[in-house]
Structure 1
Amino acid sequence: MSVSRRAVGRPRAVSRPSSGLSPREEILAAAGELFTVRGYAATSTREIAERAGIRQASMYHYFGGKEEILASLLESTVRPSLETARTLGDASAPPEARLWALCYQDARLLCTGTHNLGALYLLPEAERVTGFQDLRAELKDAYDDLLARTAAASALPDDERTARSRLVFSLVEGVILIRRDNPGLDPDGTAGATANAALRVGGVPERDLPRLARLGRGLLDAA
């Protein structure tokens, strides 16, 4: 898990127009761009600091190094969806609608932002970021739990239900590759199509999807 440091009192290396971001956020934005465009291994902390407009020594006031920056970026792609999953776990709506809402929110998160941070999942270094992997495992368990509660999946043998849950989770994360090949895709449209496809994989009848989508959107709007 990444450790945040107090963001106070460090001068910038160069004068830049105000972006409204804190220095820590500037570092993350700069690293996100460089990691996804140039590559993690090919990016140095000096380059991150220069892009963020701060001195390299000042960067270490906020992060312990490049690995900690990567951890923060990776965790930012999971935490919001995990928070949504926790909220949906206590909702009174049908589990199918809650699963739709989680798939939609998760896919939309991976489709938004200036840079395709989800592509960082493909880095070999991501396997060593234990905080991120723990959060992702918890999110995967939330998918398992919601799918297991649906009428279609509850009657399935355990191994088939697990396989379907893994397929649903992989389908949602598949938007990372779709975005890589189609940078200008519409987040809302892509998220809605992904959530519908995920429920089909989970065994939900096609005729039920419009109703479940309406209920799912209502859950997200109320969150």
Structure 2
Amino acid sequence: MSGPRRSGRREEIVACAARLFSSRGVGATTVRDIADEVGLHSGSLYHYFSSKDELVAEILAAFLDDLTCSYAAEIRRFVAAPEQLRDLIHVSLRVAVRHPHASEIYDKEFASLPSVPGYEHIAARVREAQDVWARILAKGVAERQFRPDFASVQLQRLLREIVWTATRWHRDSLDDDYLMLSTTLVGLFVDGITARSAGSPAPPVVAPPAPLRREAAGRDLAQLRSEVHALRGVVDELRRASA
């Protein structure tokens, strides 16, 4: 089998497995299920992957490698913390478009991940990504650009979880919705935690960088407004807990 053809088939298997794993779970998805979806005999699938665990590792490693490399390349280094946090949210959603099922698989299979091949690499990438969130928030608090009344550890966990949960809410339409979603999350969280003097106006909505822009007209905003309302409740809860 030629290299490009084998590579294309491997990518097809990975994409199919990711979709099935996120909807059914790894345990409930059989090798036959995956093979049937891509038009292979079950035995033929083992020419590409030795096990379902190897497929899980491939899906998560590809996602986390893309995420951490994109953070390093696309988050501006010499700008204020609020601008870096805007970049962080925009980049996270952009990567989610390329890996729409990965964060859900990570959450669902978290307890069993230590058994998958290459877990050390996956765990290291997760820590690296989390450190980016923590570093930006700590920078903002230290430089008095973010409000000090939020516990930064709780806040960075909350922001991370909401960003990745929001991608799952919009998984089926994320390719179309991520500009709207990204702008809304930035407005809600970055502007919401940015320190400013009493009575000063809220900062203007900042559009994502040019590579992230897409036509957003004609989309239904009712669901997103409902979700934002729920997220505001979570933020209020965190504020009370940190008081």
What's the TM-score, normalizing by structure 2?
Answer: 0.67
Which of 7, 29, 52 is equivalent to 2:15? 29
- Provide closer, same or farther for how the CA distance between residues 88 and 105 of structure 1 changes in structure 2, counting only shifts above 3 A: closer
Q: Is the contact between residue 82 and residue 135 of structure 1 (CA under 8 Å) also seen in structure 2?
A: yes
Q: Is the contact between residue 81 and residue 139 of structure 2 (CA under 8 Å) also seen in structure 1?
A: yes
2:135 paired residue number: 145
One-letter amino acid matched to 1:74: L
* RMSD over aligned Cα atoms: 3.4
SS in 2 for 1:32: helix
- Work out which structure has the larger RCO, using CA pairs closer than 8 Å and 6 or more positions apart in sequence: 1
Query: d(CA) in 2 for partners of 1:8 and 1:123?
Result: 33
One-letter amino acid matched to 1:82: T
Q: Is the contact between residue 28 and residue 73 of structure 1 (CA under 8 Å) also seen in structure 2?
A: yes
**Which segment is superposed worse, 69-78 or 148-157?**
148-157
Query: d(CA) in 2 for partners of 1:204 and 1:86?
Result: 26
How does 1:1-223 map onto structure 2 within 5 Å? Answer: 8=3, 22-88=8-74, 91-110=77-96, 112=97, 116-124=101-109, 127-128=113-114, 129=116, 130=119, 131-150=121-140, 151-152=143-144, 156=148, 160-179=151-170, 183-184=172-173, 186-200=177-191, 202-204=193-195, 207-208=202-203, 210=205, 213-214=206-207, 217=209
Q: Deviations over 1:135-173 (max 9, x none)?
A: 12210101111122223467849x922222222222212
- What is the Cα deviation at residue 45 of structure 1? 1.2
Q: Is the contact between residue 22 and residue 101 of structure 2 (CA under 8 Å) also seen in structure 1?
A: yes
Question: Percent identity among equivalent residues?
Answer: 21
- What is the Cα deviation at residue 33 of structure 1? 2.3
Q: Is the contact between residue 116 and residue 179 of structure 1 (CA under 8 Å) also seen in structure 2?
A: no
Moved over 6 A (4+): none
One-letter amino acid matched to 2:203: D
Unaligned 5+ segments in structure 2 are: 214-243
Length, aligned pairs only = 200
Unaligned 5+ segments in structure 1 are: 1-5, 12-20
- Provide closer, same or farther for how the CA distance between residues 40 and 89 of structure 1 changes in structure 2, counting only shifts above 3 A: same
Q: Is the contact between residue 147 and residue 193 of structure 2 (CA under 8 Å) also seen in structure 1?
A: no
SS in 1 for 2:16: helix
